[in-house]
Amino acid sequence: MTDLLKAKLSRRAVLQTAAVGAIGIDPALRAAVYAAGSDAPEKTEVKIGFIPLTDCASVVMASVLGIDKKYGVTIIPSKEASWAGVRDKLVNGELDFAHVLYGLVYGVHLGVGGPKKDMAVLATLNNNGQAITLSKKLADKGAVDGAGLAKLMAAEKREYTFAQTFPTGTHAMWLYYWLAAHGINPMSGAKVITVPPPQMVANMRVGNMDGYCVGEPWNHRAIIDGIGVTAMTTQDIWKDHPEKVLGTTGDFVKKYPNTARAVTAAILEAGRWIDASLSNKNKMAETIADKSYVNTSVDAINQRILGRYQNGMGKTWDDPNYMKFYNEGAVNFPYLSDGMWFLTQHKRWGLLKDHPDYLGVAKQINQIDIYKQAATASKTPLPKSDMRSSKLMDGVVWDGKDPKKYADSFKVKA
């Protein structure tokens, strides 16, 4: 056995011991209780796809800390290259679950951006923590925020290229919302391309795009490498916005409901562990920075998960709305209104030709009953309502009450 392997194995043991201490229950004992009952997971080993991003952390830590065993399952994290790859492997059954973009799941369910297949959202994995990066070249010309970008684009006419990570995904919607709020139509006033998250920095370095929207650590990485600046955080577009979800297919949930509940509960508990302390966040950053997961330096991850932000131009600030994985359970509930919001934006930007049955689709996809069972098992607090109200950057309130009116209300649209 190599020294490196020994070190990895001993580190895993230390982390698992720490987790058991934090949780206060012997995982083997809890697994035995589950296995003895009728609610035992039907499938005990599950493969969960993830993209190298900070917000895959609760999936990874549920496995690394051994929290999964407590619920009678073994999570095998599977590193994937692109969101299109995640979509395809979910649809064909190569993956059981995935750390996945909220809007991707909704798109597949409706046959937008790929094959049509009934999909399921089991929980929200994180709120906040994405950003819009503009190239240093643009920043040097005064485009350091949305207003500056709009001014430059009006003064220096050319084709401006921006990247998102998947056509129906969260990053596309944050980018489009932000551009439109500054009078830039992403469909007609700019060129938009799709780039996998880990390839964003390299593509900006060679000048393939003027800006991009992606999850961390690839915004902070651009600052460390001196090639980009943070023009906007997504939490400043929508405070506590939904981001990645634990996704699977509708078929999987029907066939393996106990497994779906057990995996959801384990990931809820992992999210709670991450958010519980500064030292846990640092341990998480050290773990996921490894080349098996995000493959970057720890310093690219550990600043922004603590809310320590810099914009790449000398400004630093402490952001209370940094990436959260649990936040006393407020993060994780699969609010129907959150899913419906993505549908309103898909309609706004012409990805959907007609208004869907917004509430009906959200009820089909968001597995609220299974979530509630997992929340009970993991002692996660539940909200009073399946809907929530939020005010976005332009002062417009979204509460899910009249999605058709909301979707049609935007001046800048496809």
| 8 Å CB contact between 290 and 297 | no
Among 176, 195, 178, CA closest to 187: 176
pLDDT one-digit tens code per residue, 6-28: 444 455 554 554 444 444 444 44
Summary mean pLDDT of the chain: 93
Among 45, 97, 80, 82, CA closest to 251: 97
The strand pairing partners of 150, in sequence order, are none
Q: Hey, how many other C-beta atoms are within 10 angstroms of the C-beta on 387?
A: 16
Higher pLDDT, 70 or 2: 70
Helix axes 368-377, 257-276, angle to 10 degrees: 60
pLDDT value at residue 32: 42
Would the pLDDT of 60 be above 50? yes
pLDDT one-digit tens code per residue, 78-104: 999 999 999 999 999 999 999 999 999
| 8 Å CB contact between 256 and 42 | yes
Would the pLDDT of 31 be above 70? no
User: How many Å apart are CA 403 and CA 291, to the nearest integer?
Assistant: 42
pLDDT value at residue 409: 98
User: How many Å apart are CA 324 and CA 71, to the nearest integer?
Assistant: 23
User: How many Å apart are CA 314 and CA 222, to the nearest integer?
Assistant: 14
User: How many Å apart are CA 281 and CA 155, to the nearest integer?
Assistant: 44
Mean pLDDT in residue range 143-166: 98
Q: Please enumerate in sequence order all residues whose Cβ is within 8 A of that of 305, keeping only pairs 6 or more positions apart, or say none.
A: 54, 129, 216, 281, 284, 285, 322, 323
Share of the chain above pLDDT 70, in %: 91
pLDDT value at residue 114: 81
Mean pLDDT in residue range 196-203: 98
Q: How far is Cα of residue 18 from the mean position of the Cα atoms in its chain?
A: 26
Would the pLDDT of 377 be above 70? yes
Report the 3 state secondary structure along 84-145: HHHHHHHHHCCCCEEEEEHHHHHHHHCCCCCCCCCEEEEEECCECCEEEEEEHHHHHCCCCC
- CA angle, 245 as apex, 240 and 250 as ends, to 5°? 140
pLDDT one-digit tens code per residue, 280-311: 999 999 999 999 999 999 999 999 999 999 99
Mean pLDDT in residue range 375-398: 98
Secondary-structure breakdown of the chain: helix, strand, coil percentages, each rounded to the nearest 5: 45, 15, 35
Would the pLDDT of 107 be above 60? yes
| 8 Å CB contact between 131 and 164 | no
User: How many Å apart are CA 27 and CA 9, to the nearest integer?
Assistant: 18
Q: How many CA atoms lie within 13 A of 338 on its CB side?
A: 32
Cis ω before 41 (30° cut-off from 0)? no
**Window from 113-122, 138-147, 240-249 with minimum mean pLDDT:** 113-122
Query: Buried b vs exposed e over 63-93: b needs ≥16 C-beta within 10 Å?
Result: bbbbbbbbbbbbbebbbbebbbbbbbbbbee
User: Does this model's pTM top 0.85?
Assistant: yes
Domain ranges of the chain: 3-127+242-303+324-334+356-386
| 8 Å CB contact between 264 and 248 | no
pLDDT value at residue 113: 78
| 8 Å CB contact between 253 and 119 | no
The domain made up of 3-127+242-303+324-334+356-386 has a fold known as D-Maltodextrin-Binding Protein; domain 2 (3.40.190)
